[in-house]
Amino acid sequence: MNEDVIAIAGRVQRGETTAVAVAEHALGRIDAMNGELNAFLTVAREEVLEQARAIDAKRARGEALGPLAGVPIALKDALCTRGVRTTCGSKILEHWVPPYDATVVTKLRQADALLPGKTNMDEFAMGSSNESSAFGPVKNPRDLARAPGGSSGGSAVAVAAGMTPAALGSDTGGSIRQPASFTGTVGVKPTYGRVSRFGLVAFASSLDQIGPFATDVRGAARVLSVIAGKDERDMTCLAAPADDFEGACGASVKGLRIGVPEEYFAKGLDPEVEASVRAAIARLEADGCIVKKVHLAHTRHAVATYYVLATAEASSNLARFDGVRYGLRVEPDRRAAGSGVGAAPTKSALRAMYGATRDAGFGAEVKRRILLGTFVLSAGYYDAYYLKAQKVRTLIRRDFDAAFGEVDAIVCPTAPTPAFLLGEKTSDPLSMYLSDVYTLPASLAGLPAISVPCAPTAAGLPVGLQIIAPALREATMFTLASAWEGSTRS
């Protein structure tokens, strides 16, 4: 029953199978594979079976089922789920159970999806390999010695290993697209504001976006159609209605202008990745696309810009994890902190508690980014770093605006290399950060982008083709992605 999103929903809607049977199959796959892959942190066994029975009862009453009827969809563990723990891959939230659902979770429930559990991730979405998780790394099913990418590595692996046909992740600087590239799955980052962030534990609020992984482009399009749309609880969520993303799949690409940015084919790009991506571009041209060179001159500044802005926002967002309101709390020795036994805590005692909690609860990568973000926001450095980075972000967006005056979409590699070995980059943070060099610009500009598999390397490692579209033009992106996908299956 390893079918895609569309096939499963159709079979459940027509009564050819039951939601319970689909749920039991998904749970069986998770049980069989998760011990080796470590993709799921929490398996909501009883909850998903209860959801499945409710869907089957709904059909038995003759009621219409939703567009994701009986489709198992894994959830990145940064998405709040009522009654099911949400850890963000961190010890500081290891036992936290939210009292509410994220908006996207509510929408999946309303569409009759099945939610079998929460997937592993880099701690607080800070990482590119899923190795910063407090609960151990996720392994890539394409090669168990290699990283699955991050930070949404668990969601990517859930789909790549056939545990679920779709999953939700979050993408701040490439955290959906890069894992999709490394695992040979489809991964979508929507336009910033297209999908509500309510209930997503924040990393960098001006960059975070929720999006789907799926086994195929059309399945990803259907999931995005369900989760997109205005939400009054997220003031950054756009009022633009969701387009017919699924209907855009299969449309003709003849006459579509695609831009190839020279800056994305420079030093550091793996030769096999370049060959695979250029072959995909040539195939799209043969199918009727018009290929043009474009320039994104400020791309070279994207990594530095991102790691100023994202860490600054992380420093602010993660200040809430202080041991007072929720999550881990570590009490220092009261006497050492300056309070007697039974006495009200002093300011120094509170500061000691904050420090002890955050030191014990946060991992090394999160601490590194909090320190960097606090530094760039500090007096005397704000203008030199944070303000300048905001100005460069504007220049990056203007580069895309100029390019989209000439083309309908931009096509390039998703990542500069195939999946790297586990442990290969953990001692060199800068090398790890550079693995997102091709995904960061679209994030900084707030643009929609998709990664779809293209020809693998000689060793059989997946390679991702990235398609970037203008804001709110996901339909164009899906048309090109589905055309490429169709050409690989013909």
Residue 397 within any structural domain of the chain: no
Parallel, antiparallel, or unpaired for β 209-214 and 166-171?
antiparallel
Domain shared by 110 and 81, yes or no? yes
Residue 27 within any structural domain of the chain: yes
241 pLDDT more than 90 = no
Residue 59 within any structural domain of the chain: yes
380 pLDDT more than 90 = no
Domain shared by 188 and 329, yes or no? no
What CATH number did the domain enclosing 477 receive? 3.90.1300.10
470 pLDDT more than 70 = yes
Within a 10 A sphere around the Cβ of 302, how many other Cβ atoms?
25
Q: Report residue 1's pLDDT band, with 50, 70 and 90 as the boundaries.
A: low
Domain shared by 232 and 154, yes or no? yes
| Cα gap 56→58, rounded to integer Å | 5
- What average pLDDT does this structure show over 396-415? 98
- What average pLDDT does this structure show over 239-253? 92
pLDDT above 90: percentage of residues in the chain: 91
Domain shared by 93 and 36, yes or no? yes
Domain that residue 34 falls in? 5-255+410-489
Residue 160 within any structural domain of the chain: yes
* Residues 6 or more apart in contact with residue 59 via CB below 8 angstroms: 12, 13, 15, 65, 69
Tens of pLDDT, residue by residue over 334-379, are: 544 444 445 566 888 889 999 999 999 999 999 999 999 999 999 8
What is the reported pLDDT for 109?
98
Using alpha carbons, select from 455, 401, 398 the residue that is nearest to residue 259. Answer: 401
Collapse the DSSP code of 92 into the 3-class scheme (helix H, G, I; strand E, B; otherwise coil) and give the result.
helix
333 pLDDT more than 80 = no
pTM of the model: 0.95
* Residues 6 or more apart in contact with residue 51 via CB below 8 angstroms: 19, 23, 109, 114, 115
173 pLDDT more than 90 = yes
Residue 398 within any structural domain of the chain: no
| Cα gap 268→245, rounded to integer Å | 34
Looking at every residue in the chain, the average pLDDT score rounds to 95
Q: Report residue 186's pLDDT band, with 50, 70 and 90 as the boundaries.
A: very high
What is the reported pLDDT for 325?
87
Residue 104 within any structural domain of the chain: yes
Residue 459 within any structural domain of the chain: yes
pLDDT above 70: percentage of residues in the chain: 97
Within a 10 A sphere around the Cβ of 83, how many other Cβ atoms?
11
Domain shared by 23 and 75, yes or no? yes
Domain shared by 210 and 321, yes or no? no
Tell me the torsion sign for CA atoms 106, 107, 111, 114. negative
Domain shared by 79 and 191, yes or no? yes
Please state the domain count of the chain.
2
| Cα gap 17→21, rounded to integer Å | 7
What is the reported pLDDT for 430?
86
Q: Mind telling me the catalytic residues?
A: 76, 151, 175
Distances (CA, A) of 35 to 31, 39, 197, 285, 366: 7, 9, 31, 44, 26
Domain shared by 87 and 227, yes or no? yes
41 pLDDT more than 60 = yes
